[in-house]
Amino acid sequence: MDSPTSSKWFFEPTTPVEGHLHAVSRTVFSQRTRYQRLEILETLSYGMALALDGRIQSTVRDEFIYHEGLVHPALLTHPHPERVMVIGGGEGATLREILRYASVRRALMVDIDAEVVEACRQYLPEFHRSSFDDPRAELQFADGRGWLERSEERFDVIVIDTTEPLEEGPAALLFTREFYEIVRARLTEHGLVTVQAGMTKVTELLGYSAVYRTLAHVFPVVAPYQTFVPAFGSPWGFVVASKGPDPRALSSQVVDQRIAERVTGELLYWDGQTHLHAFALPKYLRRALEQEERVLEDANPLIQPL
């Protein structure tokens, strides 16, 4: 293995005043797509990694933490998930976790950037593990919001696995009240949506709290949670919102039982104890959510600087 002194350094700006350095042994693939800058890198700490617009999205060493945390709380909470949609999810790992449920009969993935998906399919097989080839899976290349606006199909769970709403990026209008109202209309009676909602470290709460408050303006049940993703160097926030089911009502024992009954193969991160811990937010974060008053609108979306 290369030493850090013989490697290049990939600088990832995480805020306007902070960033991470990753030692990179090689750049496997690099391309400017129609929507964003795509890089597939081999890092010394985390192995193969996907970066979009200069920000690490997933790494082979710890992607299971992010993807299990994103997918399983909602699918374990739903009584019997059969129809699931993913908006984004280019690596195919979110789709992979959804397809571990035998109850799922249809898993639709809608991603705006075909070039990202095709690069991940070719260079990151450890992520998707042939999930694109599962007969229950369907892949469409389109704007996720536009797809939902045109369709009348309803889903038990919708997973929003997009990039952050960066300047000039494709995701800003996927974090607004108007979009979440469309999502609510496309959910079944017991439907849930999960949103990846950005960093939850003490210096970067404005984005997460605004997404939470916007979802709370649309859904009667809104359950925020977080987990620490090592490659991101930060705790990362998610929100489950629903028309009724609440993941916080599940005991540790029920979570473990449902995993045993529903999920194929072993989960490396999520279990009953992890579930309870993720939803037990620290005081500073609870206070930020309670005090937040902003509701994000199409006319005034959340935009994070590159």
Quick one: DSSP state of residue 132? G
pLDDT at 2: 58
Residue 296: inside a domain: no
Task: Supply the CATH number for residue 148's domain.
Answer: 3.40.50.150
Query: Both 41 and 121 in a single domain?
Result: no
Q: What is the value of pTM for the model shown?
A: 0.94
Query: Both 187 and 46 in a single domain?
Result: no
Helix (H) or strand (E) holding 299: none
Query: Both 23 and 124 in a single domain?
Result: no
Q: 221 - beta bridge partners?
A: 242
pLDDT at 63: 98
> Model confidence over 144-162: pLDDT tens digits?
999 999 999 999 999 999 9
The pLDDT of 117-123, averaged and rounded, is: 97
Residue 297: inside a domain: no
> Model confidence over 17-61: pLDDT tens digits?
888 899 999 999 999 999 999 999 999 999 999 999 999 999 999
pLDDT at 243: 93
Query: Both 178 and 133 in a single domain?
Result: yes
**How confident is residue 305, by pLDDT bands cut at 50, 70 and 90?**
low
Of 39, 59, 79, the residue at which a domain comes to its end is: 59
Query: Both 54 and 197 in a single domain?
Result: no
pLDDT at 6: 58
Mean pLDDT for the chain?
A: 94
Query: Both 20 and 106 in a single domain?
Result: no
Q: What's the domain count of the chain?
A: 2
Query: Both 34 and 91 in a single domain?
Result: no
Query: Both 34 and 93 in a single domain?
Result: no
The pLDDT of 274-296, averaged and rounded, is: 97
pLDDT at 182 over 80: yes
Catalytic residue among 2, 111, 161, 298: 161
Residue 285: inside a domain: yes
Query: Both 55 and 164 in a single domain?
Result: no
User: 81: which residues sit within 8 A by CB, 6+ positions away?
Assistant: 75, 101, 103, 104, 156, 157
pLDDT at 165 over 80: no
Task: Supply the CATH number for residue 33's domain.
Answer: 2.30.140.10
Q: 224 - beta bridge partners?
A: 239
**How confident is residue 15, by pLDDT bands cut at 50, 70 and 90?**
confident
Residue numbers of the domain that contains 72: 63-291
pLDDT at 266 over 90: yes
Rounded to the nearest 10 degrees, what angle do helices 252-262 and 272-279 cross at?
130
Task: Work out the angle at residue 141's Cα, subtended by the Cα atoms of residues 65 and 36, and round it to the nearest 5 degrees.
Answer: 70
Query: Both 177 and 142 in a single domain?
Result: yes
In this structure, of 3-12, 216-225, 282-291, the range with the lowest mean pLDDT score is 3-12
Tokens 């994103």 identify what position?
70
> In this structure, what are the phi and psi dihedrals at residue 265, rounded to the nearest 5 degrees?
80, 175
Note whether 229 and 56 are within 8 A (CB): no
Query: Both 159 and 53 in a single domain?
Result: no
Q: Indicate if 161 belongs to the active site.
A: yes
pLDDT at 263: 98
pLDDT at 16: 84
> Model confidence over 195-243: pLDDT tens digits?
999 999 999 898 999 999 999 999 999 999 999 999 999 999 999 999 9
Residue 304: inside a domain: no
